[in-house]
């Protein structure tokens, strides 16, 4: 299948905004404002405005939706960059058109993860100074300090990666780009020389390699789950299975995220030729595969906790088995998995829209699962003497607003960035112009 | 809002006298004579110096300075030079070389300070020589005892005035020097002294040398507890904590096969291997070198609540909303005339501990973490009647709580343990048999059978090395908080189990009593 896309198509989103653009922008702005008000309210009155509380004699959970969504955003982020790095490293040309979208999603989602931490803190004003001045010591022992390190590292790596490929694109499309933003482009092209392209290309390759190697080790394969799994007194968290579970959840939700953003662009700018069906087909397949792994890890956890559980594990798994919310999360991953499998084996017709909806299901499922994971860890702490202390956790509207706010910010981020730079690599279109894709998996 | 007027300590004392007929205990003024015992174990021969140089050249500090300091410290401890001389020789150089901070610095290197804390104290049946008292600010304790492999808060400079900065600086050096002197650099070891192998690595300690470090802690006789929560009430008053912040807490539970209610008094365990300290991303949570108390620096804490998550005991309480200014003022006022506040160089406010860290009293603003501080304002008060006591200890009508230096065989808690042991081995009383549900395979169980008194620590399986030693019934794995009868009901004591909610009531977070809930 050959693509009919022209470089011209890529700058189409950068023209004057259309009606749909304005509507989405307005909605996202409202979402952001709601968050701003809610957060201002929280700053004013303290975290008392949440339903978080002290675990132990207070009967509450001290980490909740904020930490759940932090984990969720990091998951989406690190899967995004993996798609892009894999496309480059393994020359999966099919995915090149979504590579930049994935990179941008990584940058945006990492920022939102960072923001969730800020929102979660009791004293965000002290965050930078307190952390920096003790960093040389705490980096030895505090998983939270490790998180900070790794997220910063990823941010820098992704940013570098993105800018490497961006410079050449901006240079080549320079005359087609809106004049009003000239200063921005001049900045992007600072000391650019077309000869640097092969070097940039090689650097990008090495960075991809670094990302592929580090992502599973550091982000959801390591540092983020370590935040939980190194706590022996929280049976829902403790143990080596936590990391693989996190990684599979991250990857499956990231595929869903990339598909979702790509689909929106495809719809709005009629990019059927730039972002063809086969990309969604492929991403859906990977999403299903990682989702399957996630389900398999869940199964292991349930079996271990149900057959001959230790006293501290038993109540958690028992609750999971009887919790509708948990099964909702499982269903939101399992049903999309079945759907893409049926498509793949030709039992159902392939549908881009259906696959994207399945992806949204997976994203929601992972969000619910992550939040539940955090909360149940704290409700079912090992110290069973606290068991009869009253307590339950349902996020307040204030907490929900922060989730809405981060989603809105991602939307605004994409709306803004798509006016600024081409969000599909020129290379992807050029290559498609001359080559014939073999397609399929 | 609770009525503080009716719940003064005076009331507690009355209640206590009524209940028990025992006069309110006040500490005897402790013997503060200096312990200048020479505990040096290594001579400073040329071989030592070569070794020391080699090791020092691998660490980031100045080699010459380290060697010199160690040598002079040894001389100091042997009485060959005076303290003044020692300080005047090194003060400036040390200031340049090390930052000034009393909290643990790099945990991978400063950890030795709590490596040899209390926990084995009780296994030393005889510790013949006196060890320094918790509040012994007096003399230089024998220089960094080499045999302890880094047990080196040796140059504990005496005077309190400008002493604290100097002392902490010197401690850093002491650790380095003593570690080198011993030829072992004691690393963080989660199993620590609970680990037999580790014990063997430590050079055999002579009398009086092993537990030179002060480790404040509790011995709590849960069988003596009547569940009146006087301790929780007294703590609440003493520290003026917000509603729902039960720094001292009493579990009331029932065992399947026993009729009567059981109690478990639960302060912070002031662990020797505290996970809350390890996980804190900003070093706000720290274990004080002076006496092993675990504290939170309210001025540094960012409110991430990781300490709360990592602590297996659920003893941390966050300041969710604005604190009550009246309570803070009340804490400050009642402690405003402690003698030690007059010390030069110490901030004139009881909210600071003697190291100048903001750790005492309730959280003074929203968004920061708090927990039992071992009444640090009392320990640092300079008032011998208050030092070595806590509010809960003072309020308990049945003397269930004993506080003091667990490393000191002469301390109240150690003496109490001795006393129960003698009492029960003499009369072979009801405590002679392991309790129902008691884990008869544990080391402690063996100990019990030999010594006829159940003695245990709470959830020590997490490697926290807690510094609360319980005497009496240990909760079985089936035990959970039951609230079987009213005396343990917090509401009736004006205490709150729930934090205050916010005006915009979401139907939660408020003070909604004891009905059981949770999505079980
Ligand atoms: S009991 Fe908890 S808060 Fe206290 S020192 Fe131990 S781990 Fe830290
Ligand atoms: S809440 Fe404060 S004391 Fe606790 S870990 Fe976070 S910064 Fe440290």
DSSP state of A9: H
Reported as a single tens digit per residue, the pLDDT across B302-355 is: 999 999 999 999 999 999 999 999 999 999 999 998 899 888 888 889 999 999
Ligand showing the shortest atom-to-Cα distance for residue B299: 2
**pLDDT above 90: residue B86:** no
What is the 3-state secondary structure of B61-113?
A: CCHHHHHHHHHHHHHHHCCCCCHHHHHHHHHHHHHHHCCCCCCCCCHHHHCHH
Asked if B179 and B221 sit in the same domain, the reply is no
> Which pLDDT band holds residue B71 (cuts at 50, 70, 90)?
low
**pLDDT above 70: residue B371:** yes
Reported as a single tens digit per residue, the pLDDT across A216-233 is: 777 777 889 999 999 999
Residue B18's CB is within 10 A of a number of other CB atoms, namely 9
Position B284 in a domain: yes
**pLDDT above 90: residue B101:** no
Position B50 in a domain: yes
Residue B281 Cα, gap to closest chain A Cα (Å)? 5
Whole-angstrom distance, CA of residue B59 vs CA of residue B72: 20
Whole-angstrom distance, CA of residue B43 vs CA of residue B47: 10
Reported as a single tens digit per residue, the pLDDT across A357-374 is: 999 999 999 999 999 999
CA angle B259, B265, B266 (to 5 degrees): 135
Q: Which among B461, B68, B45 is positioned nearest to B275, based on CA atoms?
A: B461
Cα dihedral across residues A398, A402, A407, A410: positive or negative: positive
Which residues in B lie closer than 8 A to residue A384 (C-beta atoms)? 477, 479-480
Q: Is B310 in the pocket of ligand 2 (CB under 6 A)?
A: no
**pLDDT above 90: residue A86:** no
CA A243 to chain centre: 16
Beta-bridge mates of residue B405: B216
CA of A237 to the centre of ligand 1 (A): 19
Q: Which two tokens stand for residue B54?
A: 């080699």
Q: Strand, helix or coil at A251? A: helix
Asked if B324 and B467 sit in the same domain, the reply is yes
Position A1 in a domain: no
Whole-angstrom distance, CA of residue B121 vs CA of residue B457: 13
Ligand showing the shortest atom-to-Cα distance for residue B296: 2
Asked if B182 and B220 sit in the same domain, the reply is no
Beta-bridge mates of residue B370: B317
Whole-angstrom distance, CA of residue A319 vs CA of residue A322: 5
**pLDDT above 50: residue B40:** no
Ligand showing the shortest atom-to-Cα distance for residue A124: 2
Of the ranges B34-38, B179-183, B459-463, which is most confident?
Answer: B459-463
**pLDDT above 80: residue B219:** yes
Q: In a 10 Å sphere around its CB, with 0-12 CB exposed, 13-18 middle and 19+ buried, how is residue A239 labelled?
A: middle
Reported as a single tens digit per residue, the pLDDT across A316-336 is: 999 999 999 999 999 999 999
Q: Which of A51, A52, A62 to mutate to test the interface with B (most CBs of B within 10 A)?
A: A62
Pick the atom of ligand 2 nearest to B296's CA: 3
Whole-angstrom distance, CA of residue A395 vs CA of residue A325: 14
SS3 helix, strand, coil % of chain A, rounded to 5? 75, 0, 25
Whole-angstrom distance, CA of residue A266 vs CA of residue A355: 14
> Where residue A89 sits, what CATH number does that domain have?
1.20.1630.10
Whole-angstrom distance, CA of residue A313 vs CA of residue A84: 39
Residue B365's CB is within 10 A of a number of other CB atoms, namely 15
**8 Å CB contact of B105 and A131:** no
Position A303 in a domain: yes
Which residues in A lie closer than 8 A to residue B296 (C-beta atoms)? none
Pick the atom of ligand 1 nearest to B294's CA: 5
**8 Å CB contact of B283 and A138:** yes
A317 Cβ partners below 8 Å, 6+ apart? A301, A302, A304, A305, A306, A309
Whether the Cβ atoms of residue B46 and residue B52 lie closer than 8 Å to each other = no
Q: Which among B515, B498, B476 is positioned nearest to A388, based on CA atoms?
A: B515
Q: Strand, helix or coil at B505? A: coil
> Which pLDDT band holds residue B37 (cuts at 50, 70, 90)?
very low
Asked if B181 and B224 sit in the same domain, the reply is no
**pLDDT above 60: residue B181:** no
Asked if B184 and B287 sit in the same domain, the reply is no
Whether the Cβ atoms of residue B116 and residue B148 lie closer than 8 Å to each other = yes
Q: Which among A9, A109, A79 is positioned nearest to A424, based on CA atoms?
A: A9
Q: How many structural domains is chain A composed of?
A: 1
Q: In a 10 Å sphere around its CB, with 0-12 CB exposed, 13-18 middle and 19+ buried, how is residue A394 labelled?
A: middle
A265 Cβ partners below 8 Å, 6+ apart? A13, A101, A271, A275, A418, A423
Position B363 in a domain: yes
Q: What is the pLDDT of residue A387?
A: 79
**pLDDT above 60: residue B140:** no
Q: In a 10 Å sphere around its CB, with 0-12 CB exposed, 13-18 middle and 19+ buried, how is residue A260 labelled?
A: middle
Asked if B174 and B227 sit in the same domain, the reply is no
Whether the Cβ atoms of residue A68 and residue A371 lie closer than 8 Å to each other = yes
Dihedral angle over CA of A74, A79, A81, A83, nearest 10? -170
**pLDDT above 70: residue A255:** yes
Residue A249 Cα, gap to closest chain B Cα (Å)? 23
Position B301 in a domain: yes
Whole-angstrom distance, CA of residue B386 vs CA of residue B378: 5
Whole-angstrom distance, CA of residue B378 vs CA of residue B381: 5
List the domain range (segments joined by +) for residue A377: 7-432
| Cβ-nearest to A138 among B280, B369, B462 | B280
Which ranges of A308-323 would DSSP assign to H, the alpha helix?
313-322
**pLDDT above 50: residue B27:** no
Whole-angstrom distance, CA of residue B447 vs CA of residue B449: 5
CA of B247 to the centre of ligand 1 (A): 11
Q: Strand, helix or coil at B468? A: strand
CA of B316 to the centre of ligand 1 (A): 8
For chain A, the average pLDDT equals: 88
Residue B266 Cα, gap to closest chain A Cα (Å)? 10
Q: What is the pLDDT of residue A432?
A: 55
For chain B, the average pLDDT equals: 65
**pLDDT above 90: residue A337:** yes
Which ranges of B339-431 would DSSP assign to H, the alpha helix?
376-379, 391-395, 412-427
Angle in degrees, 0-180, between the axes of helices B163-182 and B63-77, rounded to the nearest 10: 100
Question: Considering only alpha carbons, which residue of chain B is nearest residue A314?
Answer: B520
Average pLDDT value for residue range B271-283: 95
Contact map slice: B 344-383 vs A, CB within 8 A: 366-369
Position A441 in a domain: no
Position B229 in a domain: yes
Long-range contacts formed by A240-243: CB under 8 A, 24+ apart: A241/A297, A241/A300, A241/A301
Angle in degrees, 0-180, between the axes of helices A65-89 and A197-218, rounded to the nearest 10: 140
**8 Å CB contact of B312 and A381:** yes
Q: In a 10 Å sphere around its CB, with 0-12 CB exposed, 13-18 middle and 19+ buried, how is residue B21 labelled?
A: exposed
Task: Kindly provide the ipTM of the predicted complex, given to two decimals.
Answer: 0.91
Pocket of ligand 1 (CB under 6 A): B 268-271, 274-276, 294, 311, 313, 315-316, 371, 464
Whole-angstrom distance, CA of residue A117 vs CA of residue A73: 11
* Phi, psi values for residue A315, rounded to 5°: -60, -35
What is the 3-state secondary structure of A325-382?
A: HHHHHHHHHHHHHHHHHHHHCCCCCCCHHHHHHHHHHHHHHHHHHHHHHHHHHHHCCC
> Which pLDDT band holds residue B55 (cuts at 50, 70, 90)?
low
Higher per-residue pLDDT: B206 or B265: B265
Q: How many structural domains is chain B composed of?
A: 2
H/E segment holding residue A98: helix A96-120
Contact map slice: B 414-453 vs A, CB within 8 A: none
> Which pLDDT band holds residue B214 (cuts at 50, 70, 90)?
very high
**8 Å CB contact of B308 and A54:** yes
| Cβ-nearest to A63 among B305, B316, B367 | B305
Asked if B98 and B228 sit in the same domain, the reply is no
Whole-angstrom distance, CA of residue A249 vs CA of residue A220: 9
Q: Which two tokens stand for residue B122?
A: 């009780």
Whether the Cβ atoms of residue A269 and residue A378 lie closer than 8 Å to each other = no
Q: Which among A377, A94, A13 is positioned nearest to A230, based on CA atoms?
A: A377
Q: Which among A419, A162, A169 is positioned nearest to A269, based on CA atoms?
A: A419
| Cβ-nearest to B509 among A48, A57, A126 | A48
Q: Which of A137, A149, A235, A322 to mutate to test the interface with B (most CBs of B within 10 A)?
A: A137
Whether the Cβ atoms of residue B161 and residue B342 lie closer than 8 Å to each other = no
Asked if B110 and B222 sit in the same domain, the reply is no
Ligand showing the shortest atom-to-Cα distance for residue B311: 1
> Which pLDDT band holds residue B90 (cuts at 50, 70, 90)?
low
Q: What is the CA radius of gyration of chain A?
A: 22
Reported as a single tens digit per residue, the pLDDT across B454-464 is: 789 999 999 99
CA of A117 to the centre of ligand 2 (A): 13
Q: Strand, helix or coil at B266? A: strand
Position A12 in a domain: yes
Residue A417's CB is within 10 A of a number of other CB atoms, namely 16
List the domain range (segments joined by +) for residue B296: 216-471
> Where residue B419 sits, what CATH number does that domain have?
3.30.70.20
Whether the Cβ atoms of residue A216 and residue A195 lie closer than 8 Å to each other = no
Asked if B326 and B432 sit in the same domain, the reply is yes
Position A127 in a domain: yes
Average pLDDT value for residue range B409-418: 92
Q: What is the pLDDT of residue B69?
A: 55
Pick the atom of ligand 1 nearest to B274's CA: 7
Asked if B238 and B121 sit in the same domain, the reply is no
Asked if B401 and B307 sit in the same domain, the reply is yes
Q: Strand, helix or coil at B481? A: strand
Contact map slice: B 277-336 vs A, CB within 8 A: 278-284, 300-306, 308-322
pTM above 0.80, yes or no: no
Which residues in A lie closer than 8 A to residue B106 (C-beta atoms)? 136-137, 140
Pairing of strands B317-318, B369-370: antiparallel
Pairing of strands B216-221, B468-471: parallel
**8 Å CB contact of A390 and B512:** yes
Contact map slice: B 474-503 vs A, CB within 8 A: 475, 477, 479-483, 497-502
Q: What is the pLDDT of residue A370?
A: 95
Q: Which among A307, A392, A302, A292 is positioned nearest to A339, based on CA atoms?
A: A292
Residue A390's CB is within 10 A of a number of other CB atoms, namely 16
Residue B353 Cα, gap to closest chain A Cα (Å)? 20
Pick the atom of ligand 1 nearest to B277's CA: 8
Tell me which of B279, B308, B311 to substitute to probe ligand 1's pocket, judged by most ligand atoms within 8 Å of the beta carbon.
Answer: B311
Which residues in B lie closer than 8 A to residue A49 (C-beta atoms)? 502, 504
């Amino acid at each position: 299948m050959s693509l009919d896309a022209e470089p011209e198509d890529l700058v189409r989103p950068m023209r004057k905004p259309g009606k749909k653009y304005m509507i989405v922008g307005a909605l996202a702005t409202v979402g952001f404002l709601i968050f701003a008000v809610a957060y201002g309210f929280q700053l004013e009155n303290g975290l008392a405005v949440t339903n978080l509380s002290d675990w132990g004699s207070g009967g509450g959970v001290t980490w909740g939706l904020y930490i759940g969504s932090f984990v969720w955003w990091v998951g989406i982020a690190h899967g995004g960059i993996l798609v892009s790095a894999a496309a480059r490293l393994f020359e999966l040309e099919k995915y090149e058109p979504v590579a930049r979208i994935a990179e941008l999603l990584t940058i945006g989602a990492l920022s939102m993860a960072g923001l969730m931490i800020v929102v979660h803190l009791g004293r965000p004003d002290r965050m930078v100074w307190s952390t920096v001045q003790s960093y040389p010591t705490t980096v030895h022992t505090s998983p939270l300090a490790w998180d900070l390190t790794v997220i910063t590292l990823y941010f820098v790596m992704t940013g570098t990666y993105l800018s490497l490929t961006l410079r050449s694109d901006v240079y080549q499309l320079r005359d087609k780009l809106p004049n009003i933003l000239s200063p921005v482009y001049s900045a992007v092209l600072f000391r650019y020389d077309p000869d640097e392209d092969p070097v940039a290309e090689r650097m990008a390759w090495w960075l991809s390699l670094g990302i592929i190697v580090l992502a599973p080790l550091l982000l959801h394969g390591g540092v983020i789950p370590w935040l939980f799994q190194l706590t022996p007194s929280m049976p829902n968290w403790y143990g080596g299975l936590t990391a693989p579970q996190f990684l599979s959840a991250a990857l499956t939700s990231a595929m869903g995220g990339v598909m979702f953003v790509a689909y929106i662009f495809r719809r709005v700018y009629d990019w059927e030729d730039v972002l063809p069906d086969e990309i969604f087909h492929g991403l859906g397949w990977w999403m299903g595969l990682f989702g399957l792994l996630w389900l398999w890890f869940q199964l292991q956890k349930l079996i271990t906790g149900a057959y001959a559980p230790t006293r501290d594990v038993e109540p958690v798994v028992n609750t999971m088995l009887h919790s509708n919310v948990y099964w909702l999360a499982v269903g939101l991953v399992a049903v999309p998995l079945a759907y893409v499998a049926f498509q793949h084996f030709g039992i159902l017709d392939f549908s881009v829209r259906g696959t994207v909806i399945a992806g949204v299901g997976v994203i929601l499922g992972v969000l619910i699962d992550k939040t539940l994971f955090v909360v149940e860890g704290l409700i079912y702490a090992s110290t069973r003497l606290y068991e009869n202390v009253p307590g339950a956790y349902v996020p307040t509207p204030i907490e929900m607003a922060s989730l809405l706010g981060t989603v809105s910010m991602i939307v605004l981020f994409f709306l803004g960035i798509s006016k600024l730079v081409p969000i599909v690599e020129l290379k992807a279109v050029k290559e498609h112009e001359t080559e014939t894709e073999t397609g399929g998996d | 809002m609770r009525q503080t007027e009716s719940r003064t300590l005076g009331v507690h004392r009355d209640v206590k006298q009524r209940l028990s007929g025992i006069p309110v205990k006040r500490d005897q003024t402790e013997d503060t004579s200096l312990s200048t015992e020479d505990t040096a174990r290594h001579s400073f021969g040329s071989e030592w110096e070569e070794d020391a140089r080699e090791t020092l050249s691998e660490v980031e500090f100045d080699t010459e300075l380290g060697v010199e300091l160690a040598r002079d410290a040894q001389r100091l401890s042997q009485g060959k030079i005076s303290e003044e001389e020692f300080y005047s020789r090194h003060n400036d150089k040390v200031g340049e070389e090390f930052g000034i901070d009393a909290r643990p610095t790099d945990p991978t290197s400063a950890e030795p300070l709590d490596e040899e804390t209390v926990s084995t104290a009780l296994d030393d049946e005889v510790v013949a020589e006196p060890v320094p008292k918790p509040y012994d600010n007096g003399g230089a304790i024998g220089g960094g005892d080499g045999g302890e492999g880094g047990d080196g808060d040796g140059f504990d400079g005496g005077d309190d005035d400008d002493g604290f900065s100097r002392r902490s600086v010197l401690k850093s050096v002491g650790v380095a020097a003593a570690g080198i002197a011993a030829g072992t650099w004691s690393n963080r070891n989660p199993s620590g002294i609970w680990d037999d192998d580790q014990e063997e690595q430590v050079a055999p300690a002579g009398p009086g040398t092993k537990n030179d470090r002060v480790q404040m802690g509790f011995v709590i006789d849960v069988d003596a507890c009547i569940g009146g929560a006087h301790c929780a009430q007294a703590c609440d008053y003493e520290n003026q904590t917000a509603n729902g912040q039960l720094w001292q807490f009493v579990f009331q539970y029932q065992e399947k096969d026993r009729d009567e209610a059981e109690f478990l008094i639960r302060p912070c365990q002031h662990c020797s291997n505290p996970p809350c300290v390890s996980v804190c991303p900003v070093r706000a949570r720290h274990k004080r070198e002076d006496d092993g108390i675990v504290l939170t620096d309210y001025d540094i804490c960012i409110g991430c609540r990781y300490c709360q998550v990592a602590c297996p005991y659920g003893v941390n309480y966050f300041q969710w909303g604005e604190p009550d200014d009246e309570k803070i003022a009340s804490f400050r006022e009642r402690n405003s005339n402690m003698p030690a506040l007059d010390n030069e160089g110490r901030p004139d406010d009881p909210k600071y501990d003697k190291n100048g860290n903001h750790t005492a009293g309730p959280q003074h603003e929203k968004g920061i973490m708090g927990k039992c501080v071992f009444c640090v304002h009392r320990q640092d008060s300079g008032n011998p009647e208050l030092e070595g006591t806590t509010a809960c200890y003072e309020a308990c009508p049945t003397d269930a709580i004993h506080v003091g230096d667990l490393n000191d065989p002469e301390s109240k808690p150690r003496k109490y343990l001795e006393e129960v042991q003698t009492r029960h081995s003499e009369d072979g009383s009801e405590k002679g048999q392991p309790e129902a549900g008691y884990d008869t395979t544990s080391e402690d169980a063996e100990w019990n059978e030999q010594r006829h008194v159940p003695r245990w620590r709470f959830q020590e399986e997490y490697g926290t090395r807690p510094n609360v030693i319980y005497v009496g019934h240990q909760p079985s794995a089936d035990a959970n908080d039951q609230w079987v009868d009213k005396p343990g009901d917090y509401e009736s004591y004006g205490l709150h189990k729930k934090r205050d909610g916010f005006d915009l009531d979401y139907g939660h977070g408020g003070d909604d009593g004891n009905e059981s809930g949770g999505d079980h």
